Amino acid sequence: MASYSLSFKPSVEKDLASLPKDLLARILTRIEQLKTNPFPPQSIKLQSAERLHRTRVGDYRIVYEVDPEILQVTIHHVRHRRDVYRRLR
């Protein structure tokens, strides 16, 4: 399987800056894994958006978009589950 490139929306830096270091490490590991498998078994396609998927790390959700044509994964949000879906409506 080909390796995907990663890109981040500007808001993701702010999302990550507020996280505890141990949780941040787990989230960054999961994001890195998306490069080799952008559709892991624990990911779910979001019904509210055509191309968005989500994967979870504890109570946090990583919302991302996959473009298979250019082999790119774009991270949109990394937020607590109680907050992430409000922003997608």
User: Is the pLDDT confidence value at 67 over 80?
Assistant: yes
Flag whether pLDDT at 85 surpasses 90. Answer: no
Taking CA 17 as the corner, what is the angle to CA 30 and CA 81, rounded to the nearest 5 degrees? 60
The answer to pTM > 0.85 is: yes
Q: What was the pLDDT predicted at 88?
A: 64
Strands 72-80 and 5-8: parallel
Among residues of the chain, what percentage have pLDDT more than 70?
Answer: 96
The residues spanned by each domain of the chain are: 5-80
Instruction: Determine the Cα–Cα distance for residues 26 and 70; give it in Å rounded to an integer.
Output: 27
Mean pLDDT score, 5-9: 97
Three-state SS at 25? helix
Per-residue pLDDT averaged across 30-34, rounded? 97
Assess if CATH 3.30.2310.20 describes domain 5-80: yes
> Pick the residue with more confidence: 83 or 29?
29
Q: Specify burial of residue 49 (Cβ count, 10 A radius: 0-12, 13-18, 19+).
A: middle
